[in-house]
């Protein structure tokens, strides 16, 4: 009984240790991040993606039509807690089973502009 309880505690500890809020791993992720507007040849339209990290919460709007300053008609959206795996290679937002691959964590480029690369797309802090 004690051994089972001990193993259960270790397993639950490992589970929670693997998914910490993104801002606790790197506070530079916080903020509003958008890609440049690009032409998607598959959808045959201009698109843009957005990631917002606000403390423990986040949102991801993928491949959206620019509608003024907003985004609409997104291919996919995710909302909820923003967590990162312990190897810092993936971020998950909300209860989606679709983790986002972190290619480059946020950094200031040579022009002083904050950038990061997620899923092969370059995002700029707004």
* Mean pLDDT for all residues in the chain: 88
What is the DSSP-derived secondary structure letter of residue 36? P
In this prediction, residue 66 has a pLDDT band, given cuts at 50, 70 and 90, of very high
Judged by DSSP in three states, 17 sits in helix
Determine the pLDDT at residue 18. Answer: 62
Q: What share of the chain is helix, strand, coil (3-state, %, to 5)?
A: 20, 50, 30
Whole-angstrom Cα distance, residue 126 to residue 107?
14
Sign of CA dihedral 112, 69, 91, 45: negative
| Model confidence at 121: pLDDT above 80 | yes
Place of tokens 């797309």: 121
Domain 20-125 has CATH 2.40.128: yes
Q: For residue range 14-38, list pLDDT tens digits in order.
A: 434 468 999 999 999 999 999 999 9
Q: For residue range 85-117, list pLDDT tens digits in order.
A: 989 999 999 998 889 999 999 999 999 999 999
Whole-angstrom Cα distance, residue 29 to residue 12?
26
The per-residue b/e assignment along 31-44, b for 16 or more CB within 10 angstroms, e otherwise, is: bebbbeeeeeeeee
């Amino acid at each position: 009984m004690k051994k089972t309880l001990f193993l259960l505690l270790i397993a639950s500890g490992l589970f929670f240790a693997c998914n910490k809020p993104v801002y606790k791993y790197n506070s530079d992720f916080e903020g509003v991040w958008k890609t440049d507007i690009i032409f998607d040849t598959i959808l045959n339209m201009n698109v843009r993606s957005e990631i917002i990290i606000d403390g423990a919460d986040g949102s991801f709007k993928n491949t959206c039509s620019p509608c003024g300053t907003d985004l609409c008609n997104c291919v996919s959206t995710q909302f909820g807690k923003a967590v990162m795996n312990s190897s810092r290679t993936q971020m998950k937002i909300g209860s989606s089973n679709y983790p986002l691959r972190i290619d480059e964590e946020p950094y200031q480029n040579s022009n002083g502009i904050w950038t990061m690369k997620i899923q092969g797309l370059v995002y700029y802090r707004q």
